[in-house]
A and B are shown apart, each in its own frame.
Chain A
């Protein structure tokens, strides 16, 4: 077994305890004969022990209180925010309807004007009927004297 391979194992799988028994024996044999690898094995083991022995810490007591307060504040905000969201939704619908209403009103006015004009003409007649309270202009009874007393009429007639 070469030193390079042993170093790799010592820095990775050796610390895991996941080596096969066969490889473990080979590794031990090499370590017994190689001073450099033996030194590395000792150092790695010491380092691992040191890291494992590091005392476990507890979070400060106010950590949970802070989290709890944040959760309560968030819950309250969500509850208070619901009517506000509904109001915003209604306002949005209102705005949308207002925007959509203008072209609708325009189209309705045009439709009324167009269809209203046709309705003023009675069915079955091709002429426009005279209103009852006014006299219709009679072309035949009109005065044929065109002299209105102006120079231009004298020139033409």
Chain B
């Protein structure tokens, strides 16, 4: 992902809306995709995206370029998405389509009806939000282990173990939800 110029960031930090729109256009895809992979639905992904960019707008003037802007944005995105998942987990007790997929008898029938994107999302639903965030960053955004560690502020070995558990869970088809929450 190409980095946005410092000049634009500084302008946006001073409240310049066209400069802020340039930042949005550059990063909205990433933010939305990660949010969707972590939260599991479009409405929540949109809410997270809006929330992330509002946080960015409020805090951009306090960004002193000591770290990478992209890493900072990734961190806000992942944390906001995980927070929303936590809030939703307490609120919702609904049986989702994805939970039905976990049941062995119905899995194959429903999968056939889903497109590729939904299948991936159905797979990701078997994981907890932290594992989903790691896998989304690694597999879909192509982030390196170091970038994931910097984004989530966790050790490199934790990234490794989360990815390993996530892949194992997906391969085994066993639900691994809620273990880290």
Chain A residues within 8 Å of B, Cβ to Cβ: 8, 11-12, 15-16, 18, 40, 43-44, 47-48, 50-60, 63-64, 66-68, 70-72, 74-75
Kindly state the separation between the CA atoms of A16 and B168 in the bound complex, as whole angstroms: 16
B171, A67: Cβ atoms under 8 Å?
Answer: no
Residues of A within 8 A of B53 (CB): 67
A51 touches B140 (CB 8 A): yes
Is the C-beta of B89 less than 8 angstroms from some C-beta in chain A?
Answer: no
Known: A12-B163, A52-B140. A57 touches B50 (CB 8 A): no
> Closest A-chain residue to B160, C-beta based?
A12
Asked if residues A50 and B119 are in contact (CB atoms below 8 Å), the reply is yes
- Please indicate the chain A residues that have their CB under 8 angstroms from the CB of B168 in the complex: 11
Which residues of B does A touch, CB under 8 Å?
A: 15, 17, 20-21, 24, 28-29, 31-33, 36, 42, 45-46, 49-50, 53-54, 57-58, 116-117, 119-121, 123, 135, 138-140, 144-145, 160, 163-164, 167-168, 170-171
The answer to whether B45 touches A51 (Cβ under 8 A) is: no
CA distance A43 to B15 in the complex (A): 49
In the complex, besides A11-B164, A72-B17, 4 extra interface pairs with C-beta distance below 8 angstroms are A43-B171, A47-B123, A60-B42, A63-B50
**Do B54 and A59 touch across chains, with their CB atoms under 8 A apart?**
no
Contacts between the two chains (Cβ within 8 Å), count: 90
Check if A64 sits within 8 Å of B21, measured CB to CB. Answer: yes
Contact of B164 among A8, A43, A56, A57 (CB under 8 A): A8
Q: Which residues of chain B come closer than 8 Å to A48, judged between CB atoms?
A: 139
**Which residue from chain B places its CB closest to the CB of A53 in the assembled complex?**
B116
B119 CB, min distance to chain A CBs, angstroms: 7
- Which residue on B lies nearest to A44, using beta carbons? B167
Interface-centre pick from A8, A50, A75 (highest chain B CB count, 10 A)? A50
Contact across chains for A52 and B57 when beta carbons are under 8 A apart:
no
- Pick the contact of B46 from A11, A50, A63 — CB < 8 Å? A63
Is the beta-carbon distance between B54 and A70 smaller than 8 angstroms? yes
Q: Do B15 and A75 have beta carbons less than 8 Å apart?
A: yes
Q: List 8 A-B contacts (CB under 8 A).
A: A11-B168, A44-B171, A50-B120, A56-B140, A59-B46, A63-B32, A64-B24, A67-B50
Contact B116 A55 (CB under 8 A): yes
Tell me if B28 and A59 are in contact (CB < 8 A).
yes
A54 & B164 in contact (Cβ 8 Å cutoff): no
**Which 3 pairs across A and B sit closest by C-beta, in order of nearness?**
A51-B139, A54-B120, A59-B32
Query: What separation, in Å, do the CA atoms of A11 and B120 have in the docked complex?
Result: 18
Instruction: Using A54-B116, A59-B46, A68-B17 as known contacts, say yes or no to A47 and B36 having CB atoms under 8 A apart.
Output: no
- For residue B148, give the distance in angstroms from its CB to the closest CB of chain A: 11
The answer to whether A11 and B21 have CB atoms under 8 Å apart is: no
User: A residues within 8 A CB of B29?
Assistant: 56-59
| Chain B residues positioned under 8 Å from A52 (CB to CB) | 139-140
Q: How far is the CB of B26 from chain A (nearest CB, A)?
A: 12
Q: In the bound complex, do residue B164 and residue A55 qualify as a contact, i.e. CB atoms below 8 Å apart?
A: no
Please determine whether B46 and A71 come into contact, CB atoms closer than 8 angstroms: no
Instruction: Give B161's nearest chain A residue, CB to CB.
Output: A12
Residues on B with C-beta less than 8 A from A71 are: 17, 20, 54, 57
User: In the complex the two chains form, is B54's CB within 8 Å of A67's CB?
Assistant: yes
